[in-house]
Structure 1
């Protein structure tokens, strides 16, 4: 009787296909499949076969393919999430990237900044840079959530544009996200708190209506 055991590379590819094109992985994501040495060897083989792409040391993706441009760069958010999963940490969009994600700026920054409670790491993807920067707990308010993105966007633009952040955030955050914002407002700098509480207590239809 033939063995039905699936090889490690095949198991990894099955999971990659299940996650879809554009998904990003580290070896840590496959340690339930095999031991680290076997996973590393399987990933190396899949890269050589052109099935997966090595983005950086210990970082791989199942790239989206454009019919004319070929393999596309992965989304910075997916890269940051993969790196955070690897260390069991959290990553939060910050800086100009947070302002852009909230719709306060149409310009996509060349560097995508994330604050993390894990180790710092910088990944260069062509002309784009994904920068994970270790931050203290006081700078990580509601990390990984839409509420956290509002806090970081507000931190980036400063008090002068606080009203702009509030106007956009009121219409974008769900009721549950607003509750998270209000419950975490006490952790924010004093100048931010009135704006965060105002966003959290204003229903979306008060702006859209």
Structure 2
């Protein structure tokens, strides 16, 4: 069993920081029952952290001790391994764009996968299923703006669009406008009025 544990640690150490692993990825090292047992022991010893149901990550070790990898790093790894799209929630996007002074109290992200929560160290991460139009351009400012507008809703969107029009460069505004066919009607109408007709 210790040989299997050592093999798992060696495998995990070769992965980029924050890359989640699952028991299924380790079946070349041993049986499912043995891998599950070894993963459980490694969590108990603090050598691995649970990052959701059936997912594990290696803590980052520094001269100050061990800590969980950053949430963003783990979510990038999770998105790569599961194939789902994951993006910051609209409240975080609105704050980052200066459309609200509210700072989100919880770590909430939107996903194309199922809604769920998991703990990473002492922090609870919530993944909420979202429609495809909110997950477009996940890593671009235009996508961030669309998620912020969706969170602000119909009543606050006109003022937010005026602010975005002043702050964002023209190519980003064009990207926002290009997503109109997939937006809900209320948002497509407002984006059309403010982005294309000024």
- Give the aligned partner of residue 46 of structure 2: 50
The residue aligned with 2:94 is: 99
Q: Gapped runs of 5+ residues in structure 1?
A: 1-6, 199-209
What SS does structure 1 have at the residue aligned with 2:88? Answer: strand
Please report the TM-score for the alignment, with normalisation by the length of structure 1.
0.64
Gaps of 5+ in 2: none
In structure 2, the residue corresponding to 1:123 is in which secondary structure? Answer: strand
Change (3 A) 1:106 1:67: farther
Distance 1:186 1:24, change over 3 A: same
- RMSD over aligned Cα, in angstroms? 3.8
Q: TM-score, normalised by structure 2?
A: 0.66
Q: 1:192 to 1:117 in 2, by over 3 A?
A: farther
Aligned pair in 2 of structure 1 residues 168, 72: CA closer, same or farther (>3 Å)?
Answer: farther
Within 5 Å, which residues of 2 pair with 1:153-168?
A: 153-157=148-152, 158-159=156-157, 160-168=159-167
Equivalenced residue count is 185
Query: What is the Cα deviation at residue 130 of structure 1?
Result: 1.6
For the 8 Å contact 1:123–1:130, the answer to whether it is kept is: yes
Q: 1:12 to 1:107 in 2, by over 3 A?
A: farther
